[in-house]
Amino acid sequence: MAVRLRLQRKGKPKRPYYRVVAIDQRAKRDGEPIEILGQYDPMATDSKLNVDMERVKYWLKVGAQASNTVAELIKKTQSAESK
């Protein structure tokens, strides 16, 4: 089973809200995740991202791949934490 870290869409029409999840890459976008790692609200004024970085690092260490979007969000989070 190949695990991927990706976004799962929630919210209302024209008001998206996303969860960052660890999920089997063959699962549907809104399928059952293995673990919920955080949340992302792109409509907030500061594009609010709340992620459990320890769990993200664990999943990446055991071989999970992050989607392009999640990888960029993680990179932004790590650079903001280092400042």
Mean pLDDT of 19-30: 90
Q: Is the pLDDT of residue 69 over 90?
A: yes
In whole angstroms, what separates CA 53 from the centre of its chain? 10
Q: What is the pTM of this model?
A: 0.86
Higher pLDDT, 79 or 61: 61
3-82 has which CATH code?
3.30.1320.10
Which pLDDT value is given to residue 15? 93
CB-based contact 23:34 (threshold 8 Å): yes
pLDDT tens for each residue of 45-55: 877 889 999 99
